[in-house]
Amino acid sequence: MRRHLPVLLLAGLLLGAGPAAVSAVAAPQPALKIPGPLDGPLPLFTGAAATPQPLKGPWRPVNPALAADGRSGTGLAAGNGAASPLPGPLGIGTKRSSAFLGGSCTSLAFDKRDRLLALCSVPTGPVLRILDPAGLATIAALTLPARPSADRADQGGGTHLLVRADGTVLVPTNGGDLLHLAVDAGGFRKLGAVGLGTVLGRGERPFAVGAGYDGYDWVAGAQGTVITVPRGGGAPRALRLREPVAEDIATDPTGTYVVTRDALYRLLAAADGTPRIVWRHPLVTGVSDPQAGRVHTGPGTPPAMVAGGFVAVADGAQPPHVIVVRTGGRESRRLACSVPVFGAGAGSVEAPLVVAGRSLVVANAYGYNGLASTELGRTTTGGLARIVVGKHGCRTAWRSALISPSAAGVVSRANGLLYTVLKPRSAPDAWNLAALDWRTGALRFTALAGEGLGFNSDGGPVVLGPDGAAYAGSFGGLSRLKDSG
């Protein structure tokens, strides 16, 4: 799960009032920079320019219901497991800029005009924005229903979005609806909303949304209700798993995949559209550890589809394991591998797995217990690892001691670089965009995003834009890093 709700005590240091509940603004609002009070003495760049080495895949089938890979959203339900076909910066005169947006930006995507779509949580609730991708000015802002709880572990609407193939946007909201929006030149236009209150549990709100290959949009509620919504119109149908859901869902030609506190599920729609269970694979729930960097018990990642007929998730064990399961086959042969990552008593996984072809990268979140964990020179335990999935098991291709406390990374299929955000143990508190060689784990370069609280990833994603820039969501808003060469 992404940490989508700011800690209000610390938020007072940075945040102002949220935008009005409008779908457009009179004129683009110029971006205010995220404050970086001590970034002056910090190095702007380390390392050397990287040489592109494209990845060959294999890649999962393109989802016909979604916008193109890399543009449709940051959830694993949207595209190829955070493997973007777009190029990112190579470290050639890399320049930085930022936009102070009043809260953590947890979902990023692009519209048909190559503008950035950002779903951010401010103290008053979620706000969906259209941003100019170059200057980060706000073109339009739509305030969504507020979250009723101040608990940062609260699971509810307003943290996920999907961009469909026709350019429209789906957002599950705290109001209990699946909101359908058009993205026009000047702002958002409401096309409709499917009320889910009649099929959700008492007090339950929709959390995650995925576009199935089967003609249905799939929604998961925080209490474990899984819902199908026919794209052509019709009543939603539901199945209650009765196990809490705190992660995104994933879709594939073989079905829809949901991870609960206790298990990984493969689901299909029955003839009348009702979700049905194909199989259930139990997972280790784990025990509560105040230093683990987790905001809920159970698995720490959404299900991630791996080429070759596999689905992967990181469990809540200590040490955590990457569990890789075959999507088909007999129950006795379904588990492909279980690979321990990081050290016992010093490892946990919270950021989504980054998948490219038949391998995946996992990041250690141990020690990230909120914004204060990385202030005043402090940081987390750290660690990254790449796991390769083979026909007869899995192996660890490389390990890295680099520290990425809370960012959701992305890999470029065009240049073979893995992008994430690092926070070293030193003061001032530098947050750096980092580019690693996907194949070897070698660090190619870092570029300073900024210093201090506002640049804390706090669960925010890194995405690559059509213009070659990398965008990183953070507690204060959004950073942009782009080559000038």
Global pTM value? 0.94
Each residue's pLDDT tens digit, 139-191: 999 999 988 876 655 657 778 899 999 999 999 999 999 999 999 999 999 99
For 385, counting Cβ atoms within 10 Å of its Cβ (0-12 exposed, 13-18 middle, 19+ buried), the class is buried
Each residue's pLDDT tens digit, 313-365: 999 888 999 999 999 988 888 999 999 999 888 898 989 999 999 999 999 99
Q: How far apart are CA 153 and CA 156, in angstroms?
A: 9
DSSP 8-class letter at 221:
E
Banded pLDDT at 76 (limits 50, 70, 90)? low
Instruction: Supply 99's token pair.
Output: 């936009």
List, in order, residues 6 or more apart from 232 with CB less than 8 Å away. Answer: 215
List, in order, residues 6 or more apart from 394 with CB less than 8 Å away. Answer: 322, 324, 336, 337, 339, 387, 388
Is a pLDDT exceeding 60 seen at residue 18? no
Each residue's pLDDT tens digit, 185-226: 999 999 999 999 999 999 999 989 999 999 999 999 999 999
* Mean pLDDT value across residues 291-296: 64
- Residue 327's Cα: distance from chain center in Å? 22
Domains of the chain, with CATH numbers? 8-25+34-482 (2.130.10.10)
Q: What is the DSSP string of 334-395?
A: -EEEEEE-S-TTS----SPPEEETTEEEEE--TT--SGGGGSTT------EEEEEEETTEEE
pLDDT at position 442 is 98
Banded pLDDT at 292 (limits 50, 70, 90)? low
Instruction: Supply 23's token pair.
Output: 């779908």
